[in-house]
Amino acid sequence: MRPWEYSAFAVTVADARDIAPGWRRLTLAAPELRDFAPWGLDQRIKLVLPLPDGGLADFGLMTDPTPHPSDWYARWKALPETERNVLRTYTPSAIRPEQGEIDVDVLLHEPPGPASAWAAQATPGERLWITGPDRRNGWTGYGLHWQPVAGATRWLLVGDETAFPAIANILRTLPEGGRADVLLEAADVRDDIDAGRLVRVLEDWTPVLAPLSLYYPSRRNPTAAFKAFVDFARRRSHLTTQPGRGLPGSAQGGNTLG
């Protein structure tokens, strides 16, 4: 067993492309990524971004085998902030060990932070470092939180934009015949509405206190769980947009589902 379930990998940006408004997909490559464990799902990894001069501070990350974070992370934290590499958490959206590649989908949020700003301008050839699961350790499950109940046939997945890659990976693994309800928070879904992938479910209100919009692929055949959620959202919108009014007994008068 190596000192830690994760290893550090020195990687190069092999490709960087915009995949949707506000999203940039980076393909990171290195021969050593053949050892990156292909578990997928919601696997969290760290991006260790280059310093302004392109380098990596000396905090022992690339010692072989990769030391435990109690060693390298403590040394990283002890460095002055301006002299240490930015670390941020991401999820591989694809893992291709046989090609020594992983993809990472980066949300270009506004205002940007160091990682999203770096990703927005990243071009092929740039070097960075990542930490992630190493298949030489065998299965450990380290960095995965998705633990579905064995035999389940219904799932509820909820997340904001940064969870899109994890949720997409999870959905691809669910067995045939089950049903997943997926609730995603997104700042901008105009593209999906224009393309007909989503329709508006809640009324066209402009709530003052708690803007809430909800989109779904179709109004046809919603599950009972989703109808209940829409009901809840309607009642909540009533509460926040019409101060002084109590909870209506049931949601009336809005768009109906099904």
Positions in the binding site for ligand FAD (CB under 6 A)? 44, 88-91, 105-107, 109, 112-116, 161-162, 165
Return the number of the residue (83 or 185) whose C-beta is nearest ligand FAD: 185
Q: Which of 93, 97, 94, 96 is nearest to 34 (CA)?
A: 97
Q: Which residues in 37-90 belong to E strands, given as ranges?
A: 45-48, 87-90
Least Å from the CB of residue 186 to ligand FAD? 10
Residue pair 157/170 in contact by the 8 Å Cβ criterion: yes
- Residue 49 contacts residue 43 (beta carbons within 8 Å): no
- DSSP element (H, E) containing 191: helix 190-194
Q: Which is nearer to ligand FAD, 119 or 230 (CB)?
A: 119
Of 210 and 228, nearer to ligand FAD (C-beta) is 210
CB of residue 23 vs ligand FAD: minimum separation in angstroms? 8
Q: Residue 147 gets which letter from DSSP?
A: -
Q: Which residues contact 31 (CB under 8 A, 6 or more apart)?
A: 100
Residue number with CB closer to ligand FAD (113 or 178): 113
- Toward ligand FAD, which CB reaches closer, 70 or 89? 89
Q: Which residue number has the CB closest to ligand FAD?
A: 113
Nearer to ligand FAD, 160 or 203 (CB): 160
Torsions phi, psi of 127, nearest 5? -100, 145
Report which residue type is found at 9.
F
Q: How far is the CB of 12 from ligand FAD (least distance, A)?
A: 19
According to DSSP, residue 49 is labeled P
Amino acid at 162: T
Backbone angles phi, psi at 156, to 5 degrees: -120, 120
Q: What is the CA radius of gyration of the chain?
A: 22
Report in angstroms how near the CB of residue 109 gets to ligand FAD at its nearest.
4
Shortest approach of ligand FAD to residue 246 CB, angstroms?
A: 34
Q: Write the DSSP symbol of residue 166.
A: H
From the CB of 210, what's the least distance to ligand FAD, in Å?
A: 17
